[in-house]
Amino acid sequence: MNKNLVTADYIVFAVYFVIVASYGLWIYQRKKKKVTDTKDFFLAEGSLTWWAIGASLIASNISAEQFVGMSGEGFFAGIAVAAYEWIAAIALIIIAVWFIPIYLKNKIYTMPQFLKTRYNETVALIMAVFWLFLYVFVNLTSILYLGAVAINGLVDGQHLHIIMIGLAVFALIITLGGMKVIGFTDVIQVGVLIIGGLATTYLALTVVSEKFGLGSSALAGFKALMRDAPEHFHMIFSKPDATSSQLQVDKYLVLPGIAMYFAGQWIVNLNYWGCNQYITQRALGANLQTARTGILFAGFLKLLMPVIVMLPGIAAFVLYKNGHLALTDGRKDYAYSAVLGFLPAGLKGLSIAALTAAIVSSLAGKVNSISTIFTLDIYKKYFKRDADEQKMVWTGRLAVVFSMFIAIIFTWQDVLGIGGKGGFTFIQQYTGFISPGVFAMFILGMFWRRTTGAAAIAGLVTGFVLSVFFNEFAPQVLGHSNFLYTAYPTQAVVNGALQTVWEIPFLICMGLAFLFTMIIMVLISLGGPKVNPKAFVLDKSMFKVSPSTLVLILLTLMILMALYVKFW
């Protein structure tokens, strides 16, 4: 395994950088006259095609969180972690058919705007602040940190901070051109991501085949994985009992078997894909058919993602287990970069380009969303109501730079402890603190005309408080097991020392918080008018789909069904 880059690697990466930067500059120059228009800067003025929307969704979603974090969970738990990707495909179908028509009909451009239109100004302001903190201190920091760790692991391991700054600067170059530049450069980014990712997976499986004396065959390598680590090829984990090992318990805490499909898994995906400025922003400027097709195209691509981001993690596990792979402290977040060390000259440069494409596109999309919410929902409303278009665009650009600067400060020494918890789990768990309340507000606000603003505020507070309670305090207060949940023992650092603590799987916590939040919101809303004056007017024609859309939906569902039958 060689971590040294050669001339061919630098050439491949340089070609990738020049192509993306040049294409972005060309897109920017074509629309230079409209760069002072806020709809152009934040929403690409509705000019993104369906394939650009779909590619941009995937490029923004697939980042270090997946390449490093999900690959690490593949190393640790196996194919079960693919649920996050495959259930996302169904979530995207739901978003395309039922959510997007409501957003577009009501001319919703930001998620706080949705809350103001449906509820009131207070709800919108609270959530705007919440989202800004979440995007900056959880999402942006984790993408930057995990990305720098991954790429640093491919070289000599001595340039973490230089790489971190380089990723941030590259993302800023793209972001400052606006959403159109981001959207169309993402087409290249996702192409590089898929080609480089598939090449990495193919070569990882080939290395496994060679190490097991089976020749140079990716298929033989895949079969070797299934034989050597059969426990890594089950989608559903059994509920632990008294005879279960600590490893089985720890896996269940991350992916709690069939129970997660009745709890947090749906909340994670529907909230992320349907109630998230970072994601929905790509489709909000398009017409309904274009937006739907783009979203469904992204859902179809999601079926492929576990092959790219999870299989290398399982390959790393098998190689590590059999003494063919050196892994720093056996830490799962180093699995992907360790596998890349086997790549030959040139292909390592392609893999670094794929990683960089995923990281930079996600950083660009995230800071653009931060900029959009801050400029349109806070600056324009509370600081400078009379700001003209040019002033708002420049405010957005300053927000981009400032948020990236803050992210660098907090990732410089990993102040938030992203590396210790594991990147993928860090993001899912801390995002999960607000997901139940947010999703309850959106789902009831869209489809139940009686929901009130008071109920929305109560739901937001309740969802957050209950998420914290079930994640941090419930086992001590309500006991280790009852009709609501079962808590399990695991090791955690408490006051600087490793201790045994009892935890409820965080996806179960999310489901419980959502359930009780919905109940409270319904009860409060029953005390209001039968039809809230701010309720959206819905009609069945909004949700009709074209024959081509229906075919794409059915194709996605059939492939997904086959995958679950194979790996259940």
Topology (CATH) of 7-226+273-418+541-567: Sodium/glucose cotransporter (1.20.1730)
Report yes or no: 535 and 451 within 8 Å, Cβ to Cβ: yes
| Mean pLDDT score, 250-273 | 88
What residues contact residue 267 under an 8 Å CB cut-off, 6+ apart?
432, 435, 436, 439, 510, 511, 514
Fill in the DSSP letter of residue 240.
Answer: P
Q: Helix (H, G, I), strand (E, B), or coil: what is residue 261? A: helix
Q: Is 447 exposed, middle or buried (0-12, 13-18, 19+ CB in 10 A)?
A: middle
Report yes or no: 186 and 56 within 8 Å, Cβ to Cβ: yes
421-474: per-residue pLDDT in tens? 555 566 666 777 888 999 999 999 999 999 999 999 999 899 999 999 998 899
pLDDT confidence band for 81 (50 / 70 / 90): confident
pLDDT value of residue 514: 95
Fill in the DSSP letter of residue 330.
Answer: G
Give me 237's structure tokens.
Answer: 């984990």
pLDDT confidence band for 480 (50 / 70 / 90): very high
Question: Helix 160-175 to helix 179-211 angle, to the nearest 10 degrees?
Answer: 140
CA–CA distance, 424 with 75 (Å, rounded to integer): 12
- DSSP bridge partners of 492: 499
**Mean pLDDT of all residues belonging to the chain:** 83
Nearest to 398 by CA among 185, 175, 184, 133: 175
CA–CA distance, 174 with 17 (Å, rounded to integer): 11
492 phi and psi angles, rounded to 5 deg: -150, 155
316-349: per-residue pLDDT in tens? 889 988 888 877 666 777 787 778 777 777 777 7
pLDDT value of residue 64: 63
Report yes or no: 535 and 118 within 8 Å, Cβ to Cβ: yes
Residue 355: how many other CB atoms lie within 10 Å: 27
Report yes or no: 273 and 92 within 8 Å, Cβ to Cβ: yes
**Higher pLDDT, residue 143 or 223:** 223
CA–CA distance, 336 with 353 (Å, rounded to integer): 14
CA distances to 125, 354, 511 from 470, rounded to whole Å, are 26, 38, 10
52-76: per-residue pLDDT in tens? 888 778 877 776 667 777 788 888 8
Q: Where are the alpha helices (DSSP H) in 62-178?
A: 64, 71-76, 83-94, 100-105, 111-118, 121-134, 141-152, 160-175
Angle at 488 between CA 482 and CA 494, to 5 degrees: 120
CA–CA distance, 271 with 446 (Å, rounded to integer): 13
325 phi and psi angles, rounded to 5 deg: -145, 130
| Mean pLDDT score, 73-101 | 90
pLDDT at 491 > cutoff 80 = no
Give me 37's structure tokens.
Answer: 């228009």
| Mean pLDDT score, 144-170 | 78
For 410, the enclosing helix (H) or strand (E) is helix 389-411
Torsion of CA 423, 425, 428, 431, to 10 degrees: -70
Fill in the DSSP letter of residue 380.
Answer: I
Q: Sign of the CA dihedral 83, 84, 85, 88?
A: positive
pLDDT confidence band for 101 (50 / 70 / 90): very high
Percent of the residues in the chain that have a pLDDT greater than 90, as a whole number: 25
Q: Helix (H, G, I), strand (E, B), or coil: what is residue 173? A: helix
Q: Helix (H, G, I), strand (E, B), or coil: what is residue 534? A: coil
12-26: per-residue pLDDT in tens? 878 877 877 777 777
511-561: per-residue pLDDT in tens? 999 999 999 999 999 998 999 999 998 888 889 999 989 999 999 999 999
- For the residues of 13-43, what is the DSSP string, one character each? HHHHHHHHHHHHHHHHHHTGGGTT-HHHHHH
pLDDT value of residue 1: 47
| Mean pLDDT score, 109-114 | 84
Report yes or no: 174 and 24 within 8 Å, Cβ to Cβ: yes
Q: Where are the domains of the chain?
A: 7-226+273-418+541-567
